Amino acid sequence: MIETLGPTAELLGTDLVVDDALRETDAQWLVHDEFVATVARLFAVPTMSPARGWERSCDAGARLLAAIGRQGESSPGGDVVVCSGGRALTSLLVSLAVVTPEQAFAYWQTIGMPDLAVLDLLASGTQAVVRHFAESV
């Protein structure tokens, strides 16, 4: 992910902080069809691990939200740019109730490589999606 975000941080003249809590969801390697079916289960029941060695979606979402909060507290202006994997970021959106568990798998399938979503996480605890994944710039 450093290769993805590093040049942008340099261009913007901002620090790049690597935070392991912002990593992709923990998962075991699976062949394509089994992988896709497991991702569908990951989002269908966020409180259950979809397969051995896979992190629960609710845990990944909570992990990312806590890390973003920590980074925001130490960032001038509170702005944070996060670079992570699609499963982790979709889990974050589910945990924020921006995307429902029923919508999450279809939402995850729309994410391109690379892609961008913009969220506004307000101090009041509310959030707004400024731009969803797969929307034109």
Under DSSP, the state recorded for 18 is -
Cβ-in-10-Å burial (0-12, 13-18, 19+) of 58 comes to middle
Could you tell me the residue ranges of all domains in the chain?
A: 2-131
Both tokens assigned to 14: 């901002």
Examine the pLDDT at 137 and tell me if it is beyond 50: no
Full-model pTM: 0.82
pLDDT digits over 21-70, tens only?
A: 888 888 888 999 999 999 999 999 999 999 999 999 999 999 998 988 88
User: What pLDDT, on the 0 to 100 scale, is given for residue 72?
Assistant: 78
Examine the pLDDT at 109 and tell me if it is beyond 50: yes
User: What pLDDT, on the 0 to 100 scale, is given for residue 87?
Assistant: 93
pLDDT digits over 57-104, tens only?
A: 999 999 998 988 888 777 766 667 777 889 999 999 899 888 899 999
Separation between Cα atoms, residue 74 and residue 30, nearest integer Å: 38
DSSP readout, 51-113? STTPPPHHHHHHHHHHHHHHHHHTSGGG-------HHHHHHHHHHTTSS-HHHHHHHHHH--S
